[in-house]
Structure 1
C-alpha cells in the first residue's frame, strides 16, 4: 500500500532551488552595432585587403618623398628621361636602367656615368619621378579627405535640417539644392579661374560649393523616412528636444548610410581633381599631382611609357581600394545585405 501524504517527508514537497545566476544568462555575448558591422566587414576579404593596401599607399604618401635622396622639384636636364633603376633588382636584369631608343636598347646610366638610383626614373626635366609620384598622391589624399569632411559637415547637416523641419523650410532648402545641382563642377572651377589662379584652392572652393549635394539629398530622404518612427515619437512624447532627436536618435541610425556614401564620394572627388589637372586647369607646374604626372607622361607614352604608367597605377589602386572598401561597408551596414 502507498503511504499517505502525512507520512511522506515534508522536504519532498519543497520547491526545487532556483539558480538565479543562470536564469537570464545569455550564451552568446551581445554585440553593439559597430562590432556587428566590423564582424561583417571582416568576412569580406576584398575589403580587408583593400584597407591594408590603402593604408600602405597613405603611409608611402607620408614617408615616400623622404625615402628618396632626390628632391621632387630639383631639375637636372642632363639626367632627363632616365628609366627606373633599383638596387638589387638590376642584377636580375629588371629595373636596371635600360630602355629602347630608336629600336636599340641603351643604358643612359652607363653612358652618362650616373651612379645614383632613380627607382621610378626621371621626367623630361630630370626630376625624380618616385618623389613626385608620392607628392602627387598627397594631393589626391587631400582631395579625398576634403570630400569626406565636406560631406560630413555640410551635406549631413543640410540634409538633417531639411528633412527634419519639413514644410516650407524643406521646400526652400530643396529649391536652393536644385539651383546648385544645376551648376556643373567644371563650370564652377572655370569661374574660379577668373578670380583665382589655377590650383588646389580653386578646386577646393568648387567642391565646397557643389560637392555635398548628393550627400544632402540622401540624408534628407532617410530623415523623412525615420522621423515618424515609433522611437522618435516616443522620445518626443517624453519631452526630448529637437537637438537630442537629431543628434542622439536620427544621426546614429544614419551613420551607415553616411559612411557608405562618403566612401563612394571619395573616388569621384579624386578622379575630378586628376581630370582637372590633366586638362590643365588644376594644379600647375612645378606642383605635382597624379593628374599632372599623367598629363606629362601622356605626351611621351610611346617612347617612355613608365612616365604615365606609374602614376596611373597609383591612382587606379586608390580608386579601386576605395570602391571595394565602400562595397564592404555597404554589405556590413545595409540590413538588406545581411546574411
Structure 2
C-alpha cells in the first residue's frame, strides 16, 4: 500500500531531450561492394595466411635465384647429391640442415667434411652438382609464369566468348556453344602431345596447350551470368539511350561480373600449375637446362630412396602453392558471391 500512495514527480513526465542533428547520423562508414568484400576476406584467416604465403613465395621466386652464390644451371659433379646445409641452422640437431646423411648401415656422416667442401648448399645439390635452392626458386618462377599467363589468356578469351554468346543468343549462341562442346570433348593430354609434335617442348607449347581448352569453363560461367543480366533494367535503359552492343557488354555487363571472373581465375591458377607439373613429370614439359617444379619432382623421384630431399623440397613448395591458391579462391568466393554471404 505504501507504493500506491507514493507521489510521482512531474519531472518524470517531461519528454526526452535529444539532439535532432544526430538523429539521422550514420554510426558506421558506408562501404562499396569491394570494400565490403575486402572486410569479409580479412575475417577469413585461412585466406589471409594464404595470401601472405603466396606473396612470400612470389618474392622468393623473383629474388631467390640471386640469393644463392650458385647459378641454377651450373654443374659441378664433385659436389653432386649433397644434403642441405644452412649456416644458421646446421647446429640445431632436430633440423635436417646440418649436411649429414644416414648410411645404410645406420652410421651418420657429414658429407661436406668428407669431401672437404666449404660452401653451403642450403637445399643441397642434385645428381649433377647443381644448387637445388636456385633451381627450386627458378622452377617456381617458371611454374608461376606459365600458370598466370595461361590464366590471363583463359580469362580474356573466356570472358569475351561467353559474354558475346550469352548477350546475342539465338542462332549465334547455338553455334558458339556447339564449338565449346567439341573443344571440351577433346582430352587435354591429346592436345599437349599434338602441340609438342608441332612445336618444341617448352613454355610456348605448354601455354598454348593450356589455353586451347582452358577457357571453356570460364566462357560457360560468363555466358550463364550474362543470360541472367541482359534483360535487367540497367541494360534495357542503356539500349533505350542508344548504347551500342559493345558498350553494353564491356561497360555494363562485364564489370558486374567481376566477382565471378576473379573467382574462376583464382581457381584456374592452381589447376594450371598442377597440369604443368604433371606434363613435366611424365616428360612432356620443359627440357634441360630449364627447370620447373614438375621437372624437379621428376628428377627427385628417380633417386628418392637415396636422396629424398631432391623430391621433398620442390614437392612441399608446390603443395603450399596449390593449397594457398585454393584457400584464397575459397575466401574470395565467400566474399564476392552474394549467395555465400550470411
Same topology, TM > 0.5: yes
User: What do the CA deviations read for 1:50-75 (whole angstroms, capped 9, x no partner)?
Assistant: 00010000000000000000111111
* 1:101 Cα offset (Å): 2.5
Partner of 2:176: 173
Unaligned 5+ segments in structure 2 are 1-18
The number of aligned residues is 321
Partner of 1:300: 303
User: Is the CA contact 2:150–2:207 (under 8 Å) kept in the aligned structure 1?
Assistant: no
- Where 1:99 maps in the other structure, the secondary structure is strand
* 1:27 Cα offset (Å): 3.5
Whole-angstrom CA distance in 1 between matches of 2:84 and 2:48: 31
Unaligned 5+ segments in structure 1 are 1-17
Deviates more, 1:100-109 or 1:299-308: 100-109
User: Is the CA contact 1:101–1:303 (under 8 Å) kept in the aligned structure 2?
Assistant: no
User: Is the CA contact 1:42–1:48 (under 8 Å) kept in the aligned structure 2?
Assistant: yes
Whole-angstrom CA distance in 1 between matches of 2:338 and 2:199: 46
* 1:319 Cα offset (Å): 0.3
Whole-angstrom CA distance in 2 between matches of 1:197 and 1:319: 27
Whole-angstrom CA distance in 2 between matches of 1:92 and 1:136: 28
- Where 1:106 maps in the other structure, the secondary structure is strand
* 1:303 Cα offset (Å): 1.4
Whole-angstrom CA distance in 1 between matches of 2:137 and 2:188: 26
1:143 equivalenced with 2:146 (yes/no): yes
- Where 1:75 maps in the other structure, the secondary structure is coil
Partner of 1:30: 30
Partner of 1:320: 323
User: What do the CA deviations read for 1:250-298 (whole angstroms, capped 9, x no partner)?
Assistant: 1121111100111111111000000000000101122111101100110
User: Is the CA contact 1:283–1:289 (under 8 Å) kept in the aligned structure 2?
Assistant: yes
User: What do the CA deviations read for 1:79-116 (whole angstroms, capped 9, x no partner)?
Assistant: 10000000021122331100123232222100111000
Whole-angstrom CA distance in 2 between matches of 1:59 and 1:107: 32
Partner of 2:89: 89
User: What's the Cα RMSD here?
Assistant: 1.5
Whole-angstrom CA distance in 2 between matches of 1:195 and 1:147: 19
Partner of 2:340: 337
Q: Please show how residues 122-137 of structure 1 align to structure 2 within 5 Å.
A: 122-137=125-140
Which residue among 197, 201, 207 is the counterpart of 1:198? 201
User: What do the CA deviations read for 1:166-209 (whole angstroms, capped 9, x no partner)?
Assistant: 01111111111111111111111101121111121110111221
Structure 1-normalised TM-score? Answer: 0.91
Partner of 1:224: 227
Whole-angstrom CA distance in 2 between matches of 1:178 and 1:273: 24
Whole-angstrom CA distance in 2 between matches of 1:325 and 1:262: 11
* 1:151 Cα offset (Å): 2.4
Which residue among 95, 99, 102 is the counterpart of 2:101? 99
